[in-house]
Structure 1
Amino acid sequence: MTAEGARYTVDELAAKVGMSPRNIRAHQTRSLLGPPVRRGRTAYYDDSHVRRLEAIKSLQRQGYNLVAIEAILGVRSPEPVTEALQTLLQRLGREQPGLVHALARHGVLIRGEDGSVHMVRARLMRSVLGLNRAGVHAVPSLQVLSEVLDRLRLIAEDLVRSTSQRIVSATPALRAGAAATWDEVDTRSDALAASMIALLTEAFRVALENFGTTAMPDLIAESAGGAQLHLTGSPTIDNG
């Protein structure tokens, strides 16, 4: 202990909080963790970094992903909303706290300190409004979304791991560990991760588009059991 308080190298910090140095650097890259203070060629962390990492770990144990944690800790700002989305968010905050919590764990929504609900994933929430315009009420749509995200979470983890392994095994430079410094490793990893996510996202979109547009009419007809469909008037956000 010095006059400045406790100081830790990245390895000492990792041992103290039970986290790998690689994860600590990844949190810095995402701005979840502030930079260390450099003394000569050595970077030192302090107890504020320990508290921040413990907060991140606590939120992860509660099931929040890193996008949600970014929003909770103020790293990721809520996105602006239209009047229709604001109406929906206010209603969810009043009537569906459990659903808000479920979606917050996936980083779709976040509840502010004043109890208000804010949007983090704009594209997903706009898709809910799209379903609403097609005649599907908003709350059931969000319940389905929450269930789908729960199912996809494990699938995504397995797919990311298997795809990453294939990419690394097919790239000699990665297998050889050609990067000379941690900064180079972080830069290369971030670029590969962003490209892989884009690849998997578009592949999943293609698969869904190939199946969904042809399957949906058949599924609706099958669900109706051959009976005449009675369509309601224009859908509204306030319906159950």
Structure 2
Amino acid sequence: MTSSVEYTIDELARIAGVTVRSVRVYHERGVLPPPRVRGRTGYYDTAHLARLQAIGRLLERGMKLAGIKELFEAWERGEGLAEVLGLVDQVATPYHAETTETVSVEELGKYGTATPENLRRAITLGVYEPADDAGTYRVLSPRLSRFGAALIDAGVPVERALAELERLTADCDRIAARHVRLFHELIWEPYKRSPRTPDDLAQVTRYLAVTRNMSTEAAAELISRALQRSLEADTPELLDAVRDVETGHSIRDAGLR
């Protein structure tokens, strides 16, 4: 990495639009090469700047630093462009890429999330993040936002809606952890011991593509079945009432029979 242009860490961070602490973290995680040191000062060049900008773009796509490190290492080993980009697509791209929007505190207020505690919980859940210092928030997950709003519109108190989202998040974290353990055992560890050819890397990306679809679609199907079984077992009169309404009887009539 050679260049006639040199930057101190403060200059590099300012030009790249990141904090000095972020640059140091990237060093510690092995995703940014160290600077050349002269005396007691480290100097960076345009290659460092390009790497730092690439890290920023990958982070924006949802990729974690560990995945970014693996990507750069694969690239530096000379693995094929198609295979490297395939890995990026499977690891870096969110499963549902959604267009983000911004909302004001006033807009959040109609759903009860404008209170400091409720807003904090929604931010922790990854539904919103501060967009500026003027009380504007970016909607990180329109789907979760719509789901929470639908619960509240259906009569669920906002605190209960947030609690349900928190429980769902914990459940999904456990499901994801099982899949990650399976991935490491069956795919990643064998890949690390392999010659790491393009075919070896392609096997990794194929697994990731399949497991992402499998886990989400299978979970939706299984949850739907479980809900139906639970309703039939715990609330049979509700299902009877619904069937009566569908056939032209009212729920009141169903209760009088």
TM-score by length of 2: 0.47
Which structure would you say has the larger RCO, counting Cα contacts within 8 Å and 6 or more residues apart? 1
Rg (Cα) greater in structure: 2
Provide TM-score, normalisation by structure 1.
0.50
